[in-house]
Chain A
């Protein structure tokens, strides 16, 4: 427990040693501890012990290293891990507004080719992960682990892991197995799990609720990262929750504080996801006219809602669902649309040039939209948007505002999620194609299974959010305004 307490304290510090330390203007004792640790950090740095500017080596940032650890852990596991760098960066930026609203240099993300930090992270891992063979050189900075081993391992440990609340554990297993996927789905599942955990939480003696609960939430988050790297929507939700925990007035009793947090979570889910989706649908419906041919890629929850709502309103249109390997998410969407009686065409991503002259509008979903208007979404979205742009067809991206992020990404390689490479070698229903059966034996052969890609903003005609319909250049404005509002919520 002291470990967690320390972590909480360290978390309250500025993460990297290079950033000027700012005091949390609340507790004197915390300040004293921080000063002591800062002095230790400075001493260690002078002694030349700290190897990294991120302050991992100096140990003064166990918070950072704890972030790094989940990052490394996720790196090592084959389980598709979103870059834990995203998570760690989020945690840093989460703390920044608490201190002083200045925009500091963002924390450099966890890079998984750093052996030292990867080793440290491995020691703290709950899920046993083994590094994959035949890793693609270009992606050494991302975690890649052997798939298929973690789920049975975690299931067997179910009754042994006391620190993890059962609902959190259940959601982690759902992420691992792929049962829960999609930005909104994962975020809602995570928040509901946290809600349950908060309901069952009781403050240990000699601890303050906010610090201890923050540490607990952080440990749950690192568990989630081990199961599957966080999506950007999840990162933003975690930042919101930690913000609310930190802002709890000291005078509240434990039950009042817990009730307040639970209602905050409910409000977040309702306002930022459920109602936001309804607003997006109402905006987007104005863009669907009779005799439209709408193209969509993969399976986006918002786009599905738009199509169903348009069909209910009696608009005459047909839908083209473009799908791709290995996830084949479009088939699920196709099933649901056909069940509603919507006229659909199904094709694979290679045929998108063939099908594009029939199309009048393209609706795409997004995992996140970055500050320069780049759409970070399922791999293949960029190709679809590019071909639509080449044919002069408007591309409308539908994304809730809580998924926006202030970072910028130039291409799909600096931050991504690597999935299970075995899925590429096995093609369901085509047992005759066994050319890549023993791919891991051959050191010259690698399989690459990317999960996300970055669509340049010039391919996007309009972004539809719950704040309205905006051009891609307006995203940083929303991020700025949205973050301010979040703090006042």
Chain B
């Protein structure tokens, strides 16, 4: 009697809390996108890498408010999600140019702002982002282009990144980079000292230190910069 009542209340509370979290995640896009007009004005050139739904909604909102801008999308190898984002942006009539990741440094001199989405924001203000983001952040710093991170508050993480390249990373299959076939017999471990002749590195994430990030835009209706 008493126990089953407590269990039911507990279940109810847990389900309610999960529902709150889901709602928070679902509504973060709207709250972040509301701030788009404060940052995107007229004749802007924006650079992004890969595909982030938050960035997409952010740019859609700016377009709704009749702000004029064009977007350079770096394709984001090896997932090439930049292609999908480009397709979504042109559907709304946004001028988009798809570039390769190697061309980021070349094009960034003509860019006003870099807006990216991230995987997680660490406690020191650094971000874990799709691979290649550190390169973009360094290029942006070199050309004094603001590097803006848009992320829902559910991505804030209380951990401090120690050796994030290794500990907070995922290494994926070499097949994204090299075809199985001519190189596969170089990648076995049967050489003299047990090390393969060929290694392939295919990390998923990059760590961007806090000093490279100009601004965080989150759904707590308060934009804050770091350092």
**Co-assembled chains A and B:** yes
Interface residue ranges, A against B (CB under 8 Å): 136, 138, 323-326, 331, 334-335, 338, 341, 343-355, 357, 378-380, 382-383, 386-387, 390, 411-413, 416, 424-425, 427, 429-430, 433, 435-436, 439, 442, 444-450, 453-454
- Which residues of A sit under 8 angstroms from B96, Cβ to Cβ? 444-446
Say whether B135 faces chain A, with CB atoms less than 8 Å apart.
Answer: yes
Give A135 Cβ to nearest chain B Cβ, in Å.
10
Give bound CA distance, A380 to B94, whole Å: 26
Q: Which residue of A lies closest to B88 (CB)?
A: A435
Partner of B100, one of A325, A334, A346, A386: A325
Give A455 Cβ to nearest chain B Cβ, in Å.
8
Give A453 Cβ to nearest chain B Cβ, in Å.
4
Segment with Cβ contacts to A, from B5-13, B25-33, B71-79, B113-121: B71-79
Is A383 a contact of B97 with CB atoms below 8 Å? no
Partner of A424, one of B100, B165, B186, B206: B100
- Which residues of B sit under 8 angstroms from A378, Cβ to Cβ? 102
- Which residues of A sit under 8 angstroms from B169, Cβ to Cβ? 354
**Knowing A352-B135, A357-B165 touch, does A386 contact B105 (C-beta < 8 A)?**
yes
Is A350 a contact of B103 with CB atoms below 8 Å? no
- Which residues of B sit under 8 angstroms from A425, Cβ to Cβ? 83, 98
Give bound CA distance, A40 to B132, whole Å: 58
Q: Which residue of B lies closest to A449 (CB)?
A: B100
Say whether B188 faces chain A, with CB atoms less than 8 Å apart.
Answer: no
Say whether B197 faces chain A, with CB atoms less than 8 Å apart.
Answer: yes
Is A355 a contact of B75 with CB atoms below 8 Å? no
18 A-B pairs in the complex with CB atoms less than 8 angstroms apart:
A331-B178, A338-B183, A346-B201, A350-B76, A350-B101, A350-B131, A352-B135, A354-B131, A378-B102, A383-B139, A412-B109, A413-B106, A442-B90, A444-B89, A444-B93, A448-B98, A450-B103, A453-B105
Is B139 a contact of A324 with CB atoms below 8 Å? no
Give A465 Cβ to nearest chain B Cβ, in Å.
24
Interface residue ranges, B against A (CB under 8 Å): 72, 75-78, 80, 83-84, 86-87, 89-90, 93-107, 109-110, 131-132, 134-135, 138-139, 142, 165, 169, 174, 177-179, 182-183, 186, 195, 197-203, 206-207
Q: Which residue of A lies closest to B49 (CB)?
A: A350
Closest 10 CB pairs of A and B: A380-B102, A350-B132, A412-B106, A353-B134, A324-B102, A453-B106, A382-B105, A435-B83, A347-B201, A444-B90
Give bound CA distance, A262 to B193, whole Å: 52
Is B101 a contact of A349 with CB atoms below 8 Å? yes
Give bound CA distance, A422 to B203, whole Å: 27
Is B201 a contact of A351 with CB atoms below 8 Å? yes
Q: Which residue of A lies closest to B209 (CB)?
A: A390
Q: Which residue of A lies closest to B51 (CB)?
A: A435
Give B157 Cβ to nearest chain A Cβ, in Å.
20
Give bound CA distance, A439 to B107, whole Å: 20
Partner of B80, one of A136, A386, A427, A448: A427
Give A436 Cβ to nearest chain B Cβ, in Å.
5
Give A326 Cβ to nearest chain B Cβ, in Å.
6
Give bound CA distance, A436 to B75, whole Å: 11
Give A208 Cβ to nearest chain B Cβ, in Å.
45
Is A325 a contact of B102 with CB atoms below 8 Å? yes
Partner of B86, one of A331, A338, A383, A436: A436
Partner of B203, one of A354, A433, A453: A354
Interface core residue of B83, B138, B139, B200 (most chain A CB under 10 Å) = B83
The dominant DSSP class at the B interface is mixed
- Which residues of B sit under 8 angstroms from A335, Cβ to Cβ? 182-183
Partner of B197, one of A136, A341, A347, A445: A341
Partner of A138, one of B75, B104, B110, B165: B110
Is B197 a contact of A343 with CB atoms below 8 Å? yes
Is B199 a contact of A379 with CB atoms below 8 Å? no
Give A355 Cβ to nearest chain B Cβ, in Å.
6
Is B106 a contact of A382 with CB atoms below 8 Å? yes
Interface core residue of B87, B102, B139, B182 (most chain A CB under 10 Å) = B102
Q: Which residue of B lies closest to A335 (CB)?
A: B182
Is B103 a contact of A379 with CB atoms below 8 Å? yes
Is B80 a contact of A350 with CB atoms below 8 Å? no
- Which residues of B sit under 8 angstroms from A341, Cβ to Cβ? 197
- Which residues of A sit under 8 angstroms from B206, Cβ to Cβ? 350, 353-354
Is A411 a contact of B109 with CB atoms below 8 Å? yes
**Knowing A338-B186, A413-B109 touch, does A433 contact B200 (C-beta < 8 A)?**
no
Interface core residue of B84, B103, B109, B197 (most chain A CB under 10 Å) = B103
**Knowing A429-B179, A454-B106 touch, does A444 contact B94 (C-beta < 8 A)?**
yes
Is A424 a contact of B75 with CB atoms below 8 Å? yes
Is A344 a contact of B102 with CB atoms below 8 Å? no
Is A436 a contact of B83 with CB atoms below 8 Å? yes
Partner of B177, one of A326, A346, A424: A346
- Which residues of B sit under 8 angstroms from A430, Cβ to Cβ? 80
Give bound CA distance, A338 to B139, whole Å: 32
Is B90 a contact of A450 with CB atoms below 8 Å? no
Give bound CA distance, A351 to B206, whole Å: 8
Give bound CA distance, A380 to B139, whole Å: 12
Besides the known contacts A338-B183, A412-B107, A454-B106, 19 further A-B residue pairs in the complex with CB atoms under 8 A apart: A338-B198, A343-B198, A344-B199, A346-B174, A346-B178, A349-B101, A349-B132, A351-B132, A353-B135, A354-B203, A379-B102, A382-B106, A383-B139, A387-B135, A413-B109, A416-B106, A433-B80, A435-B84, A450-B103
Give bound CA distance, A357 to B166, whole Å: 11
- Which residues of A sit under 8 angstroms from B93, Cβ to Cβ? 444
- Which residues of B sit under 8 angstroms from A447, Cβ to Cβ? 97-98
Partner of B138, one of A390, A411, A445: A390
Is B80 a contact of A450 with CB atoms below 8 Å? no
- Which residues of B sit under 8 angstroms from A347, Cβ to Cβ? 177, 200-202
**Knowing A348-B78, A355-B201, A433-B80 touch, does A446 contact B98 (C-beta < 8 A)?**
yes
- Which residues of A sit under 8 angstroms from B83, Cβ to Cβ? 425, 433, 435-436
Q: Which residue of A lies closest to B97 (CB)?
A: A446
Give bound CA distance, A450 to B84, whole Å: 21
Is B75 a contact of A325 with CB atoms below 8 Å? yes
- Which residues of A sit under 8 angstroms from B203, Cβ to Cβ? 351, 354
Give bound CA distance, A464 to B103, whole Å: 25
